[in-house]
Amino acid sequence: MTRLNKKIKRVKPLIRFREVRLLHETEALADIRRQKADAMAKLKENQRLYLDGLKSLNHERQSGATGRLLTLENSLDFVKGRWCESLKDLRKIEEREKIQVVQVMVAQKDVKTLEKLEDRYREQSVAEMNHQAQKNLDEIAIRQSVLGAEEG
């Protein structure tokens, strides 16, 4: 086995390892994006609850009835707090997403780098085999010309 074929054999498991790593990083990114979608839905729900509560509070104020005003204000503060927490959670998830996107890009780059290295080794191996074949053909041609000269 040639030196280049040994190199190709050594690179193959590394490529497989990097591909598995890429798969794991991609799955982690998909999981984070699912969490982001859930957080976005929660944020929108809390926003809707806050705006509905605000409408109810404004309607109550305009009607002149003050009996439920304090309760509506307190519940509105509670919903507003949940809305803010939802926004903070979404931002944390978006930060994790940015980091994970970079991890996926690094993993993709690692796989491509090793694939290019394997391709280069294969090209060098083919070139070496072609060179050796040409060398053998040249030797055969020389032998035939020497044998032909001796017979003649």
Give the tens place of pLDDT for each residue, 77-87: 999 999 999 99
Is pLDDT larger for residue 140 or for residue 67? 140
pTM recorded for the entire structure: 0.74
Q: Alpha carbon of 66 to those of 57, 74, 79, 111, 130: distances in Å? A: 10, 14, 20, 67, 94
pLDDT at 53 over 80: yes
- Collapsing DSSP to helix, strand or coil, 2 comes out as coil
